[in-house]
A and B are shown apart, each in its own frame.
Chain A
Amino acid sequence: MTEEERNDGLEDLFRKKLEENEMETEGALTSRVMHSLQRREFFRFNLLRFNIYYLTFSLAALTVAGLILLTGPRDAEEASGDGLPQQAVTAARTDEPVLQGEVPQAGDTMKTSALRVRAATAQDEASGTVDTSGTITEKITGRETAIPHTRPVAETVKVSTVNTAGINTATGRTGPGNINPAAGTTAGGRIAADTTAMILSFETSASSGCVPLHVSFACNAEENARISWTFGDGGTTSLRNPDYIFDIPGSYRVTLTAIDSRGHASVASAVIEVWERPKAAFEVRKNEPFDEGDKVVFVNLSSGAAEYLWDFGDGVFSALPDPSHRYEQMGKYNVMLIAWSAEGCADSVMVSDLLTDRGMYIRFPNAFIPNSGGPTGGYYNLRTDEESSVFHPVASGVSEYNLKIYSKAGLMVFGSDDTEVGWDGYYRGELCAPGVYVWKVRGRYRDGREFIMAGDVTLLKY
């Protein structure tokens, strides 16, 4: 940068025109910046300004307060909404069992409001029975003033409940739900009433069994009761004596609900155990070809089973998991495996017509791809000839064998008396043209049976 270049006054121009320049910042920009400032400030801690920390703190405080209110007397409103008298009331029958309430502590709103519910209970009864029941009123002086409620409520020391069964009600802190305020004899006495009514029950044809389990149910509910069954696996019915099939193993709670003519509901239930069945399976391993007296090995592939029984089909049985067996003669044998689970559920599987053909066979492929690198002599290994470069049979139990292969022109390109030697696709050292060739085989199995077969094979280009 030379001085000369600067003499044109470019910098001066910019500096003069722009350095102290001011621009109009219109209202929209102003409010945008101010809003963004307020937002930023809200997320910064500052003692002097309402921000997120204040908000968090007050929310936390509110939550705690709310929890205190909720866990204490959920029914505080209910009680105060019942229009209780400002007088503390205690309803007690001397000849009745007595529910002992707690004496509220001054200023302890949680406890007092819990007691209010009991007070409400007491009041319901007391208002009906006040003449006959010898009401004792007990004022708790000096406490009401300590409770910061505009509407003072009854604080009970003793509350009585009507209990037809004469069972002693628990003393001490009883939850509000334990007492039904409206009905000492109807709703509250339902459990007791059930003892006098017929007990609902039902009978099942089975309480456990193997899947699929068929169970018949019979209930003893009164004749015109409304019945509903739930079987615990999603199934329901309103039949009186249903039959049901559980087709998935598991433990099911079957529930019977009966609503009698007076509208009272009763419930009975039972558990049905449905056991899983084992899965029986096995595999047969034997020599091929098979000679009389050879050992047959049975490989047990069952699952979920604890005990087995094998029926080899020739009158011999075994309880071994993996037995082997020698058959005295060739023949059609049906082998059966029965598997039992620990619960006694059974499954069986059968393999039929074992040892029928003695494992003697001969089969030919219909195409092969000769090795293009030169003749191999036709020797092959069943395991390594994966690219099928040699045309050869898959044979078992063959004692005599003669294979001839002809081209379409009728030229015999290959012949073999050994199943172990196949055609490598060469004729006199030259690779034969790709195409279809005809083969013919004649031979004899070890048991003397003769076989004559013919077919064609396609020589494919590598």
Chain B
Amino acid sequence: MMSEQHIIDGCIRHNRKAQQALWRQHSGYLLAVCMRYATDRPEAEDMLQEAFLKIYFNIGEYSGTGSFRGWLRKVTVNTAITCYHRNLRYKHNVDIDDYVSTETGTAGFEEDFCNAEDLYRVLGELSPGYRMVFNLYAIEGYMHHEIAEMLGIDVNTSKSQYSRARAILRKKLEDLADMNKR
């Protein structure tokens, strides 16, 4: 097993072995990241491919400070944002369901009623804009003003989209929990 530094150096030299090692070690994690941003698995794979090409060609820019994994994730998230902007041109209609106001309870979610697959599915069912904002805010931990800047939208838009995305997700998860109980 190559060490992280070996892999990075090898990738800078375009060493095929190092490139493959990088893929082996991190592709699973980054695919999971992409899955959060994509509607479905094929889209996530396309995103991952693009992200990895970016990583391979720009690995020299990794400064060495901060975790390498964090850097990889950042590149991947940026790729997802690029993809989102690109797709925006083609997918600008929002599902009517997204606008239906949903009653949300305040009961906490138990961790075990659903698995990661379910979460990917409900995320994938969100409209791309909602999914983007939710991911960036809830999971990546960006602030609304940062998200607004990244996506080129208004801060308030980011906030309201997040709120709606959250409501939709909650409704869907509640439905899911109900179904699982039965």
Which residues in A have some Cβ–Cβ distance to B below 8 Å? 1, 4-5, 7-11, 13-25, 29-30, 32-34, 36-37, 40-41, 44, 46, 48-49
Contact count band on B? 35 or more
Chain B hits for A13, CB < 8 A: 109, 111, 114, 119, 173
Enumerate chain A residues within 8 angstroms of B105, measured Cβ to Cβ: 8
Contacts A23-B35, A33-B48, A36-B53 given: A8-B170 contact, CB under 8 Å? yes
Query: Smallest Cβ distance from B70 to chain A, in angstroms?
Result: 12
Task: Return chain A residues, CB-CB under 8 Å to B123.
Answer: 14
Question: Which of B26-34, B83-91, B146-154 interfaces with chain A?
Answer: B26-34
Count: A-B pairs, CB below 8 Å: 105
Chain B interface, DSSP helix/strand/loop, else mixed: helix
Q: Which residues of chain B in 125-182 are interfacial with respect to chain A, using CB atoms and an 8 Å cutoff?
A: 134, 138-139, 159, 162-163, 166, 169-170, 173
How close is A42's CB to chain B, nearest CB, in angstroms?
Answer: 11
| B53 partner residues in chain A, CB cutoff 8 A | 33, 36-37, 40
Take A23-B32, A33-B49 as given contacts and tell me if A11 and B14 are in contact as well, using a CB distance cutoff of 8 Å.
Answer: no
Are B32 and A8 within 8 A (Cβ)? no
Are A10 and B139 interface neighbours, CB within 8 A? no
Question: How distant is the Cα of A46 from the Cα of B15 in the complex, in angstroms?
Answer: 12
Q: Once the chains bind, are A8 and B28 in contact (CB under 8 Å)?
A: no
Contact B31 A10 (CB under 8 A): no
Residue pair B108, A23 in contact (C-beta under 8 Å): no
**Structural contact, A23 and B14, CB atoms closer than 8 A:** no
B101 at the interface (CB under 8 A from A): no
The smallest beta-carbon distance between A46 and chain B, in angstroms, is 6
A37-B52, A37-B56, A44-B57 in contact; A21/B32 too (CB < 8 A)?
Answer: yes
Task: Kindly name the residue among A20, A23, A25, A37 whose own CB sees the greatest number of chain B CB atoms within 10 A.
Answer: A23
B106: interface (CB < 8 Å): yes
Which B residues are CB-close (under 8 A) to A21?
29, 32, 35, 116
Query: In whole angstroms, what is the CA distance A13 to B48 when docked?
Result: 24
Determine the chain B residues whose CB is within 8 A of the CB of A24 once the complex forms.
Answer: 28
Q: By the criterion CB–CB under 8 Å, are A10 and B48 in contact?
A: no
Provide the bound-state CA to CA distance between A23 and B30, in Å: 8
Q: Is there an interface contact between B109 and A29, defined as CB atoms closer than 8 Å?
A: no
Q: How far is the CA of A30 from the CA of B134 in the complex (A)?
A: 29
Question: Taking the nearest CB of chain A, how far is it from the CB of B73, in angstroms?
Answer: 10
A-B contact pairs, 5 of them (CB 8 A): A8-B109, A14-B138, A18-B116, A21-B32, A29-B49
